[in-house]
Amino acid sequence: MSKNRISINSIKKIGKRNILMGTLILTLAGFITRVIGFFYKIFLSKIMGAEWLGIYQLVFPVYGIAFTIYATGIQTSISRLVAAEMGKRNHKNISKILKIGMLLSVSIASFLSLLLYKFSDAVAYHFLLEPRSASSLRILSAVFPFCAVTSSINGYYYGLKKAGVPASTQLVEQIIRVIVVYIAAYTIGNENQKVTCEMAVLGLVIGEMISGLYNFVSLFITKPPKKMLYPEPDRYAKADKSKTILKNLLVLSIPLSTNRLLINILHSIESVLIPAMLRRSGLSTEQALSTYGTLTGMSMPFIMFPTALINALAVLLLPTVSEAQAMENEYLIGKTSSVSIKYSFLIGILSTGVFLIFGENLGLSVFNNKESGRYLITLAWLCPLIYLTTTLGSIINGLGKAHITFINSVTGTLIKIALTVILVPKQGINGYLIALLLGQLIVTFMDSYFIIRNVRLQFDAVNSLLKPGIIVAMAGFLIKSIYEYFYKITQIHQTVFLLSFCLMFCVICTILFVITRTISKTDFR
């Protein structure tokens, strides 16, 4: 009886308050961050041009690989271990988990900083196939230790399902980055695009440095009382030795970091291959980098914009599923997973509608680039797949099956790389768009297959797929007709007018979701 009572209280506490409120906090911060970042990308595209924007984008594969080595696995391990200790009502190990995890992460990050600074020319020439990116890599190398601090502390708070500090850290980093680059761009002018590219990387570094320091200080300022942070502690629980905690961190983080490292290397190869294969299709180096910059720096930010909500949900899903698994609460795992999958579909279908209806106009009005609008229409079909895969991956990792997400991701990426090599030289950028769609479809199918076989889902296809699809199609046809009519007679600025209609479309669809009970209060009970 007592065990059942604890399970019911856990469902209400975790499923309703922590997941919902944590997701809302991270979503709000993510939304504001993405709005700032979105207009920042528009700003960069105008002062750097498509070619140097493409070179700027090439820096991020290196950033991603390094981050995977020193942060990804350790952050997830801290989150899982803290969540597990919370589930067992043992607060004695939690602070030690954070300290040891942070020390490990910062040590690895510092070593990688020195390596990248010393071998930046070799990395730029042999790996990125673009020597002009070397100076940006040297600037980037300084940021790793600060990112390590931030990721460790964020993992700690995600494990506690306390989203306030990670959310505010996102905002601090983005705001500082934009301010630095904005001031620098208008100080030096846009005559030298190489210097502007380097200043954009410097803005990233300074933003991460300040947000890392802010995060570290917040750890002491915002520390809540123990009774509030660790409800109903078990007085008989024992503190583990530092060696035991380090061993647990390594056991969890090494396989995950190794898996993510290979995936990131494959993604980086994919990113580097795109300009190289475009050159084989007949484009010059400048044209290939411009096309790559248009796709990754203009079109993809639109597609990834709604992931503010999905990423917030996924980050909080992992510790929730881990905690539920520690309590052997299969009902909570199934309920949480079902609701998360449903809303991933809703957001994905709604986003697909926006980009199919307004994609071409968005590319023209926001970036003054017809190609970016054309890419948006094709990439629109990726939205449900990308958003769903993010959620499914978090559930699988929460169940302790990180090797499954690894196998599925590697398979999808290898297929994308193979198709890129085969299709892009013959069909240009359209070949890569086909590769992207097929690769993502395969990963989504494989993740879904595992979840269906291992989690007791309460999935409602009518409210998750059928109703949203019909509502989005009908509302889209109506809103598009109204937009085209008023566009001919209005004097409002085109971008403002278009974004207003995009927002109107989302609001109308959401209201219809509520009216038709596609969205229901029972989802959060």
Q: In 3D, which of 344, 435, 440, 448 has the Cα closest to residue 404?
A: 448
| Cα–Cα distances in angstroms (integers) from residue 13 to residues 20, 159, 524, in the given order | 10, 15, 11
The pLDDT-based confidence of 296 (bands split at 50, 70, 90) is confident
pLDDT in tens, 220-260: 776 554 444 445 555 545 556 778 888 888 888 887 788 77
* Position 185 in a domain: yes
pLDDT at residue number 475: 92
* Position 41 in a domain: yes
pLDDT in tens, 43-56: 887 777 778 888 88
* Position 419 in a domain: no
* Position 359 in a domain: no
Q: What is the pTM of this model?
A: 0.70
Quickly tell me which residue has 């180096």 as its tokens.
285
* Position 196 in a domain: yes
pLDDT in tens, 358-406: 988 888 887 777 888 889 998 999 888 988 888 888 888 778 787 788 8
The average confidence (pLDDT) of the chain is 81
* Position 9 in a domain: no
* Position 36 in a domain: yes
For the cut 60, the answer to whether the pLDDT of residue 192 exceeds it is yes
Question: What is 467-518 written as a DSSP string?
Answer: HHHHHHHHHHHHHHHHHHHHHHH--S-HHHHHHHHHHHHHHHHHHHHHHTTS
Total number of domains in the chain: 1
What residues make up the domain containing 241?
A: 18-265
d(CA 387, CA 78): 24
Q: State whether the Cα torsion 164-15-149-404 is positive or negative.
A: negative
Q: What average pLDDT score do residues 133-144 get?
A: 93
Question: Which residues, including other chains, have CB under 8 Å from residue 499's CB and lie 6 or more apart?
Answer: none
Question: Which residues, including other chains, have CB under 8 Å from residue 235's CB and lie 6 or more apart?
Answer: none
